[in-house]
A and B are shown apart, each in its own frame.
Chain A
């Protein structure tokens, strides 16, 4: 498998300025390293505030990184031209009701990437837009309609079509189905799987929904407060989770079929503020197996049982 995206020791901090007080740093991402291969899906899961969306933002250059390196096919992403960059990586957003301009027709929304980043004339663009509409399962006459004519699932298809216009190699999917009903979400997931095969796409699939991540991913990253806590293949992480946070997440997911004792292991407390991180392991205050060592030292990612885990006790 050829690796097309490689992220090395990525940090992202935001300065928080307050009048008459020293500027403090909010660590949104700390020491994030991973790689993504051709046609692979890497799932990123974690609760709100864990840095999933910040990661999507720095990878699409919507935010600058503080330190670390991002390489696309071996080239540093800062050296790429805007055109090269945009035809390498694109993004599909969570809320299809907010990510489409309500005053533009579907055609113009989908054509925008080509108008900005290509030399094609309007006739060629029109052909490509209609072809893409068919590929994402929309009728060609929909091109002249405005976003409010469409249902949530159809809007998300438009968002996907727009992201694919420059034929990117990597698609970042930031919670692409969490705003949709179950039956519509399933249709969109199926579409994403078909498109992945057809265009040989690599997906970075961000979600808080474990069942969606489990269904879509080859490998999985579990994040907690800006750090990777577990990183491995889908089967290793789901069938034999090692980090206590991963275990707690899997146990919290509601299942229709009643298990034995379900509510025995509820995770106590909430995510601490990223401005006021614990000294040791960030998960220690909520962790059922935390020791004194966990409270004063930060565990690094290590290979344990065929995956990477950041835990002293795992």
Chain B
């Protein structure tokens, strides 16, 4: 790891001031579950690291109207254990309960995961499928406008995610096929049925990051059942491929995981 200047932010506003002062080589750190391994491999060389860990105003879960609002610094373990999340969006609690491993879930946060937009991370599928709103210290961003391909988001330099607001769906389900080594998603499919229709978010599979499976959404909007999407899967040429799963296999798994997510949604 290269050395850097460490600064601990006490609030979102403090973090905004510190990251601004740090200039373009400054970097925000949430739980650090991706950033620290990246630094250890010397794949990043920030001049300053602004730690959001002390920003108490960024953590916590509340129900606001028909939405569950999760503070950016809420850990995966806290989301998984939250009675509010379990009661309102069980699939989201289940998703959080299966990210990484227990130790990662004790430190890793929803804000960090979404800001990083790893193409194999779990949360982006939920954010997209549930049509969540990403709240930053500057504005509100719709999920559909937030993810911009692998590791790219709509966040501007110095912009800090403060919370994610998830509208409560009628039904939702998430099933992932984990990478046997890393535990990231080889394929993860989040299916949500809302008053406005059905949305399907797919992570792990696509060669340009998380995406919505529009054809499946159309079919499921007419008939929310596994049968409605039987044999349906995205084209293999849009899929990622690696030593664990070929593009063809990933495409096939998207179909299987989608059907199982619908079954899980009940």
**Chain B associates with chain A:** no
Taking beta carbons and an 8 Å cutoff, which residues of A are in contact with B?
A: none
